[in-house]
Amino acid sequence: MKKNIYTLLLAFLAFTSCSQKYEDKTQVLLWFDATASFQRFSTQDSIDYYLDKAKEIGVTHCVVDVKPITGDLLYQSEIAPLLTKWNGYTRSNTFDYVQYFIDQAHHRGMEAHFSFNIFAEGHTYVQRGTAYTDTTIKKWQTVLYTPEGLFPIMDIAGKDNGMYEVMINPADTAAQNYELSILEEFARKYPKADGVILDRTRYKDIRGDFSATSRQDFEKYIGAKVQNFPQDIFTWEKTEEGTYSVKEGALYKKWLEYRAQVIFTFMKNAREAIKNTAPDMSFGDYTGAWYNTYHELGVNWAANTYDPSLKFPWATPEYKKYGYAQLLDLYTTGCYFPEITRCEASSPDVSKRYEAGMSTAVVMYYSVEGSAELAMEVVNGATPVYGGLLIDQYYDAPENLVRAGKMVREKTDGIMLFDISHIVNKGEKWWSYTKRAINE
């Protein structure tokens, strides 16, 4: 009799455990890029339609881009201009875009988060954005150190070299304060928003920023003058293939540490700007998942309990102090690789490595599995991690989107999908593939 009671008890516990697991919702973030769907989301009925579609496939969080790389905003602001026209289409702006997304997402039981491209203030392909219309912002543009010398980014950016964003200098105090004021105003204006997610809170790449402002700030950080700037940081070395690579100088690692400190300080101040205004608003961030090379962008998105100097030769022991994962309520990272498993990373499609900070290296980290595992390792439990997928990377092999979705859900705390236009542009079958990526 006792054995039967024990057996029944185990069966009951097993059932309740499975039942609880089934009821727990996987957190699913779907990005709504500002310019890719500018016309599509210009009317309320269109927003309603696509929110219904998102809800149907299992999306729990809408991430609505409201500060694209042009620096304009998709809501009325006293600080930055309103984006009213894109790609030949002019919005009537007869309703509050942000508030409508908040209300309609909540009506459907979803959260509404809003993304900001922080240190981007212009689009060079179309010569649009605040850096083109505001002389003060133009002064903040990053100065790039190239093999040919030092140049403001607007002087050399364009289609030929792939630089489509006008990035500004993260170390410029006036630039920082400007971006912080935008975040504070948003939190004050839309207290019912579930959260903000920062994007492009970084340097352009390893070439920036080498302005006089950054030099002075770096010298203050190390407590000494730099005798040969920027050569004491690194020089350009021409390879046999005719390309250029970085040859480290005596101050190279200290420079990486300094830039991580700049971004950490901004992230700390950004969190305070949000929380002091709307304490319950989630503070989130997006970066790429390739942590092994992300130092080139001046960002340490690890937890400050993780010491990269024990694993990566580019990090100083002090680098860990500027990990900022513990500042975040939500972190989403782009596992943007067509290769799903670590094994597949041994034969990479490097033509699809076009994100900032990526290299052409053959390493296991450059796969959905490898990058997701590394992200979980370095964040070290400081905040939830949502593995991101770039949907259009799987157009040629749609079943791989399903595999990738399963992988990031297994390896991280949830899934982020970028972006809804990549689903819509390919028709109804891609809603089906995306639903399977979320649920299978």
Task: Return the pLDDT at 354.
Answer: 87
| pLDDT mean over 179-194 | 98
Q: What is the DSSP letter of 160?
A: G
pLDDT per residue as tens digits for the range 333-377: 999 999 999 999 999 999 899 899 999 999 999 999 999 999 999
Buried b (16+ CB within 10 A) or exposed e, 90-127: ebeeeeebbebbbebbeebebbbbbbbbbbbbbbbeee
Sign of CA dihedral 412, 433, 102, 69: positive
Residue 8 confidence class, pLDDT cut points 50, 70, 90: very low
Residue 240 confidence class, pLDDT cut points 50, 70, 90: confident
Query: How far apart (Å, rounded) are the C-alpha atoms in residues 429 and 427?
Result: 6
List phi, psi (to 5°) of 168: -105, 170
Residue 314 confidence class, pLDDT cut points 50, 70, 90: very high
> Which tokens sit at 299?
């960002």
Burial class (CB in 10 A: 0-12, 13-18, 19+), 149: exposed
Task: Return the pLDDT at 227.
Answer: 97
Query: How far apart (Å, rounded) are the C-alpha atoms in residues 192 and 102?
Result: 7
Task: Return the pLDDT at 220.
Answer: 98
Pick from 10-24, 207-221, 278-292: least confident = 10-24
List phi, psi (to 5°) of 118: -70, -65
pLDDT per residue as tens digits for the range 52-76: 999 999 999 999 999 999 999 999 9
Q: What is the DSSP letter of 158?
A: B
β-pairing verdict for 149-152 and 165-167: unpaired
Residue 21 confidence class, pLDDT cut points 50, 70, 90: very low
β-pairing verdict for 85-86 and 89-90: antiparallel
Residue 25 confidence class, pLDDT cut points 50, 70, 90: low
Indicate if the pLDDT at residue 438 is higher than 50.
yes
- Tell me how many helices (H) and strands (E) the chain has: 14, 16
357 closest CA partner among 157, 199, 202? 202
pLDDT per residue as tens digits for the range 109-131: 999 999 999 999 999 989 999 99
Mean residue pLDDT of the chain comes to 93
Q: What pTM was computed for the model?
A: 0.93
List phi, psi (to 5°) of 46: -70, -40
pLDDT per residue as tens digits for the range 153-185: 999 877 656 678 999 999 999 999 999 999 999
List phi, psi (to 5°) of 191: -65, -20
Indicate if the pLDDT at residue 26 is higher than 90.
no
Indicate if the pLDDT at residue 2 is higher than 50.
no
| pLDDT mean over 127-141 | 97
DSSP assignment of 313-369 equals: TT--GGGGGG--GGG-SEEEEE---S--STTGGGS--GGG--STT------TTSSHH
Indicate if the pLDDT at residue 36 is higher than 80.
yes
Q: Alpha-carbon Rg of the chain, whole angstroms?
A: 23
Task: Return the pLDDT at 241.
Answer: 85
| pLDDT mean over 84-105 | 97
C-alpha angle 318-116-130 in degrees, rounded to nearest 5: 105
Percent of the chain clearing pLDDT 90 (strictly above)? 90
Task: Return the pLDDT at 176.
Answer: 98
| pLDDT mean over 408-421 | 98
Task: Return the pLDDT at 3.
Answer: 42
Indicate if the pLDDT at residue 22 is higher than 70.
no
β-pairing verdict for 27-32 and 414-418: parallel
Indicate if the pLDDT at residue 12 is higher than 80.
no
- Domains of the chain, by residue range, sit at 29-124+167-202+254-439
Task: Return the pLDDT at 242.
Answer: 85
What is the assigned CATH class of domain 29-124+167-202+254-439? alpha beta
Task: Specify whether the CB–CB gap between 200 and 165 falls below 8 A.
Answer: yes
Percent of the chain clearing pLDDT 70 (strictly above)? 93
